Chains A and B, each alone.
Chain A
Amino acid sequence: MRNVIIQVRDLVAGYGEEVILDGISFDVYEGEIFVVLGGSGCGKSTLLKHLIGLIKPISGRIIIDGDDLSHSDDETFQKILRKIGVLYQSAALLGSLTLAENVALPIEEYTDLPKDSIETLVKMKLNLVNLDGYENHLPSEISGGMKKRAGLARAMALNPKILFFDEPSAGLDPVTSAGLDNLIIHLNKILGTTMVIVTHELDSIFAVAHRVIMLDKHTRGIIAEGDPRYLRDHSQNPFVSQFFNRRPDPGAGP
């Protein structure tokens, strides 16, 4: 039996009065690559924002590695934050710092490593995402794919147990995007980090996902869960099979 690392129970999520996800429950197991997918506006990003604690749920519970995120005091919340790393869609590197400084930021803050060791460690982190030689570059001087990788290096700076990815392939060319997928698989294998990815890139889903959940706008809940390849070939739900086989809505287009 694998350990459950994220447990979501009866989560009602939304902004203010507007409910976007109504009572969803799922588990994420330790060490797996878990993908949240769905069409536009189905609440993927909303779910992610709740999982990383940016928004408090309307009701329901989110338990991350044994700690309840939804009803946590400040101390527990900080403890949970140390266990997670997030790669934002636009990488969200601080523009005034070099890549090395960006990656070193959390390490300096949360460990008491000597300064020269931090530099070696940062070098290793950047090596791990194939960015060696770019330590002194500013985020504005590198390409989108490199920014994502640098953002990934920063997200993994403290070797968190769980990494969250918001649309990792958005805005990348297929080659770079496939490279990032490989990097995700590789890191998952060597570090055993649990990865939670929000995306709707089919190629990427089939390449990396161990298990997916699919959200739906109309039912405001989960309409499918499981292995993406199995869902593609065997799902009875018309919308699910439409999504995985990339067919348009009837009546869309000429």
Chain B
Amino acid sequence: MTKTTPKESQSCQYEVVDDPEKGLTIRLRGAMNAANAPGLIREFRGMLKDRDLSSLTVDLGEVTYLDDFGTLVLTELRNMAAEVKAAFKIENARNKVAQMLEVLHFDRLDRKISFEKVRPPGIFVRLGDATFRHASDLKYLISFIGSVCLSLIHVCLHPRSLRREDTFLCMQRTGVDALPIVGLISFLLGLIMAFMSSVQLQQFGANIYVASLVSLAMTRELGPIMTAIIVAGRSGSAFAAEIGTMKVSEEVDALFTMGFDPTRFLVVPKMIASVIVVPVLTLFSDLFAILGGMVVGVFILDLTASAYIDQTLKTLTLFDVFWGFFKGAIFALLIAWVGCLRGFRVTGGAASVGQATTSAVVSSIFLIILTDSVLSVILRYWG
């Protein structure tokens, strides 16, 4: 019979007795809790790793306190014994300790537990699932368009039913608050464009055409697109997040049960506000870009300001400006629509709101570019 000296693992000590007849006995002493359980488990694993066991007895006679971490140590010991098919026994547990083991269902804990995530289903199941999901999305999309149209018609017929304060607030947030950033980005864009084109045009002595290039490109294409992208990032995401959070906290349901149409209450003000302010923002964007171009024209290309403005006015027709204005309105409609749509599709919790916001921005930008291409083609063939 061999006996090892008591070892200490923080406040819990143990002693291992190896008796050829009785098998291995571990005598524990003190409190077995969260502080010493990890250490004990590691030590026992190391100790019993290559040991030939016939039986393992755990003596709890001097254990004063045992919680679930302590029970975990015992479970581990039992698993180790089971691995080498050794008999396992617990001895002398005090009343309180035995009670704890009872409460934690120590006897029933032996089966191997695994929290492996449920395996993803097969490809056909996922394909079918995706099909159903997209079909339901499409269905919702169509019904949402219908509901928005109906609400808009209702508001046109009964202008007093429009929530005016919400609309003004939304106009301020979407339009006025966005003005500095739209102005700055457009100014820099005009500057870059003038600078890059001047390098080429200077070779032909066609400096003055920098003005035409900047004004035409900005007014017809880049102004509306840049403005729309900024608004999508600022306000489209905000619409989705706001409605999504309202959905999560059941505010949308509350509106519904109070007899409000959530679409009319939440979507229409945002849509009307956006359609009014985004074209105006587009005009500002054009102005700032032309100003940016003019800075390059005056300071690098030695043009006079009046010559630059004159050339700009000669190039631009009223149609170009209106075309940009019109595109701004279309883009605004798309941004507000997609933002609100994604918001209403939120289910569950915080993560879903995040996804809706991302998806609102990405889809708006995609739709903006797509619509712009379609409009360009229309203008080319029918214009």
Q: Report whether chain A binds chain B.
A: yes
Contact B67 A159 (CB under 8 A): yes
Would you call B201 an interface residue if the criterion is a C-beta within 8 Å of the partner chain's C-beta atoms? no
Interface window among B100-108, B121-129, B256-264: B100-108
Contact B349 A128 (CB under 8 A): no
Would you call B159 an interface residue if the criterion is a C-beta within 8 Å of the partner chain's C-beta atoms? no
Using CB atoms, name the residue of chain A closest to B76. Answer: A117
Interface of B is mostly: helix
- Cα separation A121 to B109 with both chains bound (whole Å): 10
Interface window among B110-118, B183-191, B301-309, B329-337: B110-118
B92 vs chain A, min Cβ distance (A): 20
Contact A127 B104 (CB under 8 A): yes
- Cα separation A120 to B71 with both chains bound (whole Å): 10
Q: Which A residues lie within 8 Å of B349 (CB)?
A: 95-96, 139-140
Contact B99 A112 (CB under 8 A): no
Contact A123 B100 (CB under 8 A): no
Would you call B350 an interface residue if the criterion is a C-beta within 8 Å of the partner chain's C-beta atoms? yes
Contact B103 A136 (CB under 8 A): no
Selected from B72, B100, B117, the residue in CB contact (under 8 A) with A117 is B72
A143 vs chain B, min Cβ distance (A): 15
Counting residue pairs across A and B whose Cβ atoms lie within 8 Å, the total is: 73
Contact A121 B114 (CB under 8 A): no
Would you call B68 an interface residue if the criterion is a C-beta within 8 Å of the partner chain's C-beta atoms? yes
Would you call A125 an interface residue if the criterion is a C-beta within 8 Å of the partner chain's C-beta atoms? yes
Contact A123 B109 (CB under 8 A): yes
Q: Which A residues lie within 8 Å of B48 (CB)?
A: none
Q: Which A residues lie within 8 Å of B41 (CB)?
A: 113-114, 117
Would you call B38 an interface residue if the criterion is a C-beta within 8 Å of the partner chain's C-beta atoms? yes
Contact with B along A116-154 (1 / 0, CB 8 A): 010111111101100000011001100000000000000
Would you call B6 an interface residue if the criterion is a C-beta within 8 Å of the partner chain's C-beta atoms? no
Q: Which A residues lie within 8 Å of B100 (CB)?
A: 190
Using CB atoms, name the residue of chain B closest to A141. Answer: B348
* Total B residues in contact with A, Cβ cutoff 8 Å: 29
Would you call B152 an interface residue if the criterion is a C-beta within 8 Å of the partner chain's C-beta atoms? no
Q: Which residues of chain A from 80 to 126 have any CB-CB distance to chain B below 8 Å in the complex?
A: 95-96, 98, 100-101, 111-114, 117, 119-125
Contact B115 A122 (CB under 8 A): yes
Would you call B182 an interface residue if the criterion is a C-beta within 8 Å of the partner chain's C-beta atoms? no
- Cα separation A127 to B68 with both chains bound (whole Å): 11
Q: Which B residues lie within 8 Å of A120 (CB)?
A: 72, 75-76, 109, 113
- Cα separation A186 to B100 with both chains bound (whole Å): 11
Contact B348 A140 (CB under 8 A): yes
Contact with A along B329-361 (1 / 0, CB 8 A): 000000000000000000011110000000000
Using CB atoms, name the residue of chain B closest to A121. Answer: B72
- Cα separation A79 to B38 with both chains bound (whole Å): 19
Selected from A98, A113, A124, the residue in CB contact (under 8 A) with B115 is A98
A111 vs chain B, min Cβ distance (A): 5
Using CB atoms, name the residue of chain A closest to B35. Answer: A111
Would you call A170 an interface residue if the criterion is a C-beta within 8 Å of the partner chain's C-beta atoms? no
Contact A124 B348 (CB under 8 A): no
Known: A95-B349, A121-B68, A136-B118. A159 touches B113 (CB 8 A): no
Would you call A4 an interface residue if the criterion is a C-beta within 8 Å of the partner chain's C-beta atoms? no
Would you call A158 an interface residue if the criterion is a C-beta within 8 Å of the partner chain's C-beta atoms? yes
Q: Which B residues lie within 8 Å of A140 (CB)?
A: 348-349
Using CB atoms, name the residue of chain A closest to B39. Answer: A112
Contact A121 B69 (CB under 8 A): yes
Q: Which B residues lie within 8 Å of A95 (CB)?
A: 348-351
Would you call B37 an interface residue if the criterion is a C-beta within 8 Å of the partner chain's C-beta atoms? yes
- Cα separation A125 to B75 with both chains bound (whole Å): 14
Would you call B64 an interface residue if the criterion is a C-beta within 8 Å of the partner chain's C-beta atoms? no
Q: Which B residues lie within 8 Å of A159 (CB)?
A: 33-34, 67-69
Using CB atoms, name the residue of chain B closest to A82. Answer: B34
Would you call A191 an interface residue if the criterion is a C-beta within 8 Å of the partner chain's C-beta atoms? yes
Q: Which B residues lie within 8 Å of A136 (CB)?
A: 115, 117-118
22 CB < 8 A contacts A-B: A95-B348, A96-B349, A100-B115, A111-B37, A114-B41, A114-B45, A117-B38, A117-B72, A120-B113, A121-B68, A124-B68, A124-B104, A124-B109, A128-B104, A136-B117, A139-B349, A140-B348, A140-B349, A158-B34, A159-B67, A186-B103, A190-B100
- Extra contacts, 11 of them, besides A111-B38, A120-B75, A140-B348 (Cβ < 8 A), are A96-B351, A98-B117, A112-B38, A114-B42, A114-B45, A117-B76, A120-B113, A127-B109, A128-B103, A135-B113, A136-B117
